[in-house]
Amino acid sequence: MAQANGTSTLTDQQISDAAVNEANMQVEANPEHALDYMKAFTTAQATRTEIYHEFESALNDHANGRISVPEIQQVIRISQEGFQDVSTDILQQERLLNSLGLTHLTTIIRRVQELEKENLEVTVRLLQTRLQAVVRSEVSFESEIEELNKRRDTLIQGINGEMEEARAEMLEL
């Protein structure tokens, strides 16, 4: 909640959520639970994929006039919160695995996080370019859209490859 002087005030819920997140970060890693940590990572990653699909579907619905501006704003806000929650969960699993010295697993997680970050950036640029193409129909954005789609496909292949590696490593735990 923003105040008139430009500073922000956290809501009770935000403070509570931050306290829970801080408490979760203090969890002590247990070597017997390494597989559980990786399962939590893969579950969070699957959730992120679902959020992407819902987000893109809503943006397409908005572009086609099926949902209003306030509705798409709500979808964007919910998606951002979902992405943040997933990242927090994944960072927790990475921290736990790192404290166990399982750097081969944390390296996979870190690569997925980096690829996902770039994928989000490319996705946003792609959506912005698509919107520009609608607004400025006299200008062709086809090559830029094609290039962004190719980059996104490459990133998704990279993410899928890392997830396959994660699943293979899980078989060894």
Q: How many CA atoms lie within 13 A of 4 on its CB side?
A: 0
Sequence spans of domains, the chain: 34-171
Percent of all residues in the chain with a pLDDT value above 70, rounded to a whole number: 84
Contacts of 12 (CB under 8 A, 6+ apart): none
Cα 162 from Cα 156, distance rounded (Å): 10
pLDDT at 100: 96
Residue 23 scores a pLDDT above 90? no
* pLDDT, mean of residues 100-118: 97
Output the average pLDDT for the chain. Answer: 86
Confidence of residue 27 (pLDDT cuts 50, 70, 90): low
pTM (2 decimals)? 0.79
Residue 103 scores a pLDDT above 80? yes
Predicted confidence (pLDDT) per residue in 42-60, tens digit: 999 999 999 999 998 998 8
* pLDDT, mean of residues 72-79: 92
Map residue 27 onto helix, strand or coil: coil
CB 162 within 8 A of CB 112: yes
CB 52 within 8 A of CB 152: no
* pLDDT, mean of residues 73-94: 95
Q: Where are the beta strands (DSSP E) in 39-90?
A: none
Predicted confidence (pLDDT) per residue in 144-156, tens digit: 999 999 999 999 9
Dihedral of CA 22/28/33/37: which sign? positive
Between 167 and 130, residue with greater pLDDT: 167
Strand partners, 8: 2
* pLDDT, mean of residues 141-167: 97
Cα 44 from Cα 92, distance rounded (Å): 11
> Rounded to a whole number, what is the largest CA-CA distance in the chain?
61
Residue 39 scores a pLDDT above 60? yes
CB 148 within 8 A of CB 128: no
CB atoms within 10 A of CB 15: 10
